[in-house]
Structure 1
Amino acid sequence: MSRDHRVDDPAALQEAVGSFVRAFGLHRPDSTPCGRPLSVSEAHALGELARESETRQVELARRLRLQKSTVSRLVGQMSARGWVERAPAPDDGRGVVLRLTPSGKRAATSLAEARRERFSRLLDAIPAHERAGVLHALDVMVEAWDEEQ
């Protein structure tokens, strides 16, 4: 049965998302879809931290949609790699501010370049007339997930 005939079947959506996860390698804990030897969580954290000169740890947790304790462990791993430094928040003694180290900035830049190259090739492989639909479908999936939560 083709996917078009199963549009109202939750199992079809589950199967399609599972295929997407496997195709992108998101089920592999120690590498990114662009082939870098770090976890997807670390890659996303690097990207978020590279956007600003400093970010509160609680804000990073919100952006990554992860629990505070998970982000704390993640930041610990990144700190052990020499990528992140932590400092007390100047306006709140309990808050933590994160900054990329020079090594972390280099890692973030290298990762961003690899990601850009990988997604450029992927976009080129999608027929031009299908691209808007693919992007729209991904947006709709995220919105539906957010509403369901």
Structure 2
Amino acid sequence: MSSESVPRPEVDRLQNSIVAFVRAFGLHQPDTTPCGQTIPISQAHALTELAARQPINQSELGMILRLTKSTVSRMVGLMERRGWVERVRGGAADGRMVLLRLTDTGERMAATIAAARRARMEIFLDRIPTAQRDAVLQALSILTEAADDH
């Protein structure tokens, strides 16, 4: 008998726990970040990554965010129209390469998101008993590794 056909209650428990966390954290609301910003979650992640790594090209951004080329292209176009991102020509090595960089408005938005995210994380951390914090962080790390398909 294969392991796929054997009922595994821990699979149901994991599934239910993850679904409950997604809902409690607000990840099922794609147009608002869990920290309360009215911006699509994918754009908030893009702004955060651009603030940390700019300038980078769209392919790099897509790999970091684990989004398809077409999704990143649409997202960058929307962010460009909002005045948050601009495209610039690459350096001396390849002047044809187009890189993404935050505008001043994009920098401010990224800073707003970072501050809101940090405030929300402080609240979460304060709600976790001190003695369990390391275990929670370790469990999240293990869960991330298990979910990583690369």
Is TM > 0.5 for Structure 1 vs Structure 2?
yes
For 1:130 and 1:8, locate their aligned partners in 2 and report how far apart those are by CA, in whole Å. 24
What aligned pairs does 1:80-91 form with structure 2 within 5 A after superposition?
Answer: 80-90=81-91, 91=94
For 1:89 and 1:15, locate their aligned partners in 2 and report how far apart those are by CA, in whole Å. 46
Change (3 A) 1:58 1:92: farther
Change (3 A) 1:28 1:83: same
Pick the aligned partner of 1:119 from 101, 118, 121: 121
Q: Secondary structure at the match of 1:9?
A: helix
Deviation at 1:69, TM superposition (A): 0.9
Could you say which structure has the higher strand fraction?
1
What aligned pairs does 1:15-54 form with structure 2 within 5 A after superposition?
Answer: 15-54=16-55
The residue aligned with 1:3 is none
Q: Can you give the 5+ residue segments of structure 1 that lack an aligned partner in the other structure?
A: 1-6
Does 1 or 2 have the higher relative contact order (CA < 8 Å, sep 6+)?
Answer: 2
Q: Can you give the 5+ residue segments of structure 2 that lack an aligned partner in the other structure?
A: 1-7
Question: AA paired with 1:20?
Answer: F
Deviation at 1:92, TM superposition (A): 6.2
- Structure possessing the higher radius of gyration over alpha carbons: 2
Q: Secondary structure at the match of 1:85?
A: strand
Q: Secondary structure at the match of 1:142?
A: helix
Q: Secondary structure at the match of 2:14?
A: helix
Question: AA paired with 1:10?
Answer: V
Deviation at 1:8, TM superposition (A): 5.5
The residue aligned with 1:75 is 76
The residue aligned with 1:4 is none
For 2:40 and 2:144, locate their aligned partners in 1 and report how far apart those are by CA, in whole Å. 21
CA RMSD for the aligned pairs?
1.8
Q: Secondary structure at the match of 2:37?
A: coil
TM-score, normalised on structure 1? 0.88
The residue aligned with 1:137 is 139
Indicate the percent of aligned positions where both proteins have the same amino acid: 50
For 1:88 and 1:17, locate their aligned partners in 2 and report how far apart those are by CA, in whole Å. 42
Alignment length, in residue pairs? 142
The residue aligned with 2:108 is 106
